[in-house]
Amino acid sequence: MPANTLLTTDTLTGQTQSHVIALPARDDNKQSAHKPLHLIHQQTLPAFQQLQARAKQAGFNLDAVSCFRSFEQQLRIWNNKFNGIRPILDHDSQPLDSAILSEEQKVFAILRWSMLPGASRHHWGCEIDVCDYSALPKDYQLQLIPQEYDEGGYLAALSTWLDNNIADCGFYRPYRQDLGGVSREPWHLSYQPIAEPAQQAFTLALITDTIRDADIQGKAAILANIEQIYSQYICNVAAPN
C-alpha cells in the first residue's frame, strides 16, 4: 500500500481502518492473555516484528499494549475522563479532583495524558505502546506511567534496551521528553516513515473541523483554545534522534 494512502482526512483522524491489519499474537501466548488483537499500519508491521525479534534475542518479550485506536475509541476515552468516569491524572500520575476544575482546566489536564479524538497519533496505525508483560509481577495491572519504565521500575531494563535499538528498525519516541505539552511516555513508539508525513499533513483546520463535528465533551472550551492545543500538544513532539 503506498504511503500516501495514509494522508487522507479519514486515516489521519481515525475514521477508517483501511490502512491497518491485525498484529499477530506472539507464539508464547503472553500477548494473547492480555489483548489478543491489535491493529497496526500495514507498512509498520514488518518493522515492528523485526524489533520484536531483536528484543527476543536480547531476552525481552516486546508486547503491544495499544496500536491503532479509532476515533470512536479516543472519543470514549476523552468523554469518560471529562465526565469523571475515568480519572484525570496530574503531572505526577496522581488523580485530580475533576469536580473543582473548570471546563478549560479539564481540557488541558486531560491533554497531558490523552489526546483529542481525531488528533491522536494512534489513529495513524504507526504508533505502538509497548511493554514486556513477562517482566511484571503476577496480578500486577500495567498502568502505563513513567515510573514503571524509569530506573527502579519493572520495565526499566526494557526501556534502556529500547533507547539503544529502536532507531535501527525505524522507530523513535515522540514523547521521550516533557516539552510542556503531552507528558513523557517512554512506552510510546512511532514508526518514522509513516509518522513524519502524517504529522506534516495534520493541519489546524483539519482538527478544528473534526472537533466541530464531534459529539465531544468540553467542545466550547476546546475550540476556544484550539490554536494553543494544536501548537502545544499536537505539534510539540520530539523529533527522531
The single residue listed with the C-alpha cell 508464547 is: 28
Instruction: Give the model's pLDDT for residue 90.
Output: 86
User: From start to end of the chain, where are the E strands?
Assistant: 20-23, 38-41, 63-66, 127-131, 171-172, 188-191
Domain ranges in the chain?
3-234
Average confidence (pLDDT) per 10 residues, the chain, 241 residues: 65 96 75 67 97 98 96 97 93 88 96 97 98 96 96 98 98 96 96 96 97 98 98 96 78
Please report, as a single letter, which amino acid is at residue 7: L
Tell me the whole-structure pTM to 2 decimals: 0.92
Q: What is the CA radius of gyration of the chain?
A: 17
Q: Kindly state the cell numbers that stand for 150.
A: 524509569
The conformation of residue 135, written as its DSSP 8-state character, comes to G
Other CB atoms within a 10 A radius of the CB of residue 32 amount to: 12
Q: Find, among 131, 162, 171, the residue nearest to 58 by Cα.
A: 162
Instruction: Give the model's pLDDT for residue 7.
Output: 79
- Fold adopted by 3-234: Muramoyl-pentapeptide Carboxypeptidase; domain 2 (3.30.1380)
CB 48 within 8 A of CB 99: no
The single residue listed with the C-alpha cell 477508517 is: 16
Other CB atoms within a 10 A radius of the CB of residue 9 amount to: 13
CB 73 within 8 A of CB 13: no
For the chain, what's the residue count?
241
Classify burial at 222, counting beta carbons within 10 Å of its beta carbon; exposed 0-12, middle 13-18, buried 19 or more.
buried
Instruction: Give the model's pLDDT for residue 28.
Output: 58
Q: Kindly state the cell numbers that stand for 91.
A: 503531572
Instruction: Give the model's pLDDT for residue 91.
Output: 83
Instruction: Give the model's pLDDT for residue 98.
Output: 87
Instruction: Give the model's pLDDT for residue 92.
Output: 83
Residues contacting 43, CB < 8 A, separation 6+: 1, 3, 126, 191, 193, 194
